[in-house]
């Protein structure tokens, strides 16, 4: 399969690199990473060590492929969708954090849109080098059209052919909300407290706050028509915090590096849906306000949150 990975950061580079063992893959990202991949190939270390040679570019305007995998930050989805709209793809798969990305893609591209989640651990160590920090699985399913199981099965088969464990699910909206509960709990709390994920696996005020944010997210999910139980959300947070104990969350890394976060698509999305459904989300609102306040102070906020 001819696959374009739009967003060659840590996860995009890992997934693209693993797919490149079997398929024709093009990574789309920024220099100096892309320049290093183009010159020397992509090195993957950690869980396994391998060297692959995907194509690499900083400009995907007018490109075409059997599949486009979108792995950009949520705030870059609109830009990615605009570029992809000028190309030709049989399917587009989002493997991103937060909620709302699939709807943005569906509004622009003339192709089936798939929603996906990935539990693989990855860290961009150096230009041309991604560290594979944890095995995981990819779960994907149809988003638009909602009943396009054929496209989902075709993509899943291609991923499995490259030894990437992949499941097709019909309930991706519920699964995205569960992932959102995990991110809404772990990301801002670890970023604000400057702790690794494992700190939330230990009894204490940080774990209590994370659980409360997850339960509140589940409450908003149910108000939005998605059956996500409080215990399911709490258990998911505890499992991820325990299994990724040594990892720093993506939002923690963004704050440490002085970069804009994905708060709008995570806790901000919970707050927006709470407002739209008449639910209450004071914990998510507070966490979003604190991260947005940090962004303003760091000079990386968007104009509407300055």
Judge if 156 and 104 occupy the same domain.
yes
261-267-272-278 Cα dihedral, nearest 10 degrees: -170
- Among 110, 140, 170, the domain-final residue is 170
Judge if 153 and 182 occupy the same domain.
no
Tell me the catalytic residues.
179
Is residue 305 a part of any domain in this protein? no
Calculate the alpha carbon distances from 27 to 9, 14, 62, 199 in Å.
9, 10, 15, 34
Q: Which domain holds residue 205?
A: 173-299
Judge if 228 and 271 occupy the same domain.
yes
- Among 170, 199, 222, the domain-final residue is 170
Task: Read off the pLDDT of each residue in 244-269 and give the average, rounded to a whole number.
Answer: 94
Is residue 165 a part of any domain in this protein? yes
Look up residue 236 and give its two tokens. 């998911």
Per-residue pLDDT tens over the stretch 34-91: 999 999 999 999 999 999 999 999 999 999 999 999 999 999 999 999 999 999 999 9
Is residue 304 a part of any domain in this protein? no
Name the pLDDT band for 305 (thresholds 50, 70, 90).
Answer: low
Task: Read off the pLDDT of each residue in 196-217 and give the average, rounded to a whole number.
Answer: 97
Task: Read off the pLDDT of each residue in 174-198 and give the average, rounded to a whole number.
Answer: 97
Per-residue pLDDT tens over the stretch 19-39: 999 999 999 999 999 999 999
Judge if 113 and 145 occupy the same domain.
yes
Per-residue pLDDT tens over the stretch 101-147: 999 999 999 999 999 999 888 989 999 999 998 888 999 999 999 88
């Amino acid at each position: 399969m001819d696959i374009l990975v739009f967003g060659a950061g840590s996860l995009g580079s890992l997934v693209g690199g693993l797919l490149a063992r079997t398929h024709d893959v093009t990574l789309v990202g920024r220099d100096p990473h892309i320049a290093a991949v183009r010159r020397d190939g992509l090195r993957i270390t950690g869980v396994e060590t391998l060297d692959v040679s995907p194509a690499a570019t900083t400009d995907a305007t007018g490109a075409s492929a059997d599949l486009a995998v979108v792995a950009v930050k949520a705030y870059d989805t609109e830009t990615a969708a605009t570029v992809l709209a000028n190309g030709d793809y049989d399917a587009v798969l989002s493997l991103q954090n937060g909620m709302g990305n699939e709807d943005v893609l569906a509004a622009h591209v003339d192709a089936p849109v798939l929603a996906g989640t990935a539990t693989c651990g990855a860290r961009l160590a150096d230009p041309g080098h991604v560290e594979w920090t944890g095995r995981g699985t990819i779960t994907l399913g149809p988003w638009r059209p909602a009943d396009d199981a054929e496209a989902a099965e075709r993509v899943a088969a291609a991923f499995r052919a490259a030894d990437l464990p992949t499941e097709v699910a019909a309930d991706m909206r519920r699964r995205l909300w569960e992932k959102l509960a995990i991110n809404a709990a772990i990301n801002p709390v670890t970023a604000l407290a400057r702790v690794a994920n494992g700190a939330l696996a230990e009894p204490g005020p940080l774990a209590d706050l994370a659980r409360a944010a997850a339960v509140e997210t589940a409450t908003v999910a149910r108000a939005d028509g998605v059956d996500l139980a409080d215990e399911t959300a709490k258990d998911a947070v505890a499992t991820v915090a325990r299994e990724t104990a040594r990892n720093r969350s993506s939002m923690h890394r963004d704050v440490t590096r002085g970069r804009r976060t994905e708060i709008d698509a995570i806790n901000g999305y919970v707050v927006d849906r709470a407002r739209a459904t008449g639910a209450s989300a004071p914990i998510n609102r507070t966490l979003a306000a604190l991260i947005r306040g940090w962004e303003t102070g760091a000079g990386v906020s968007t104009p509407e949150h300055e």
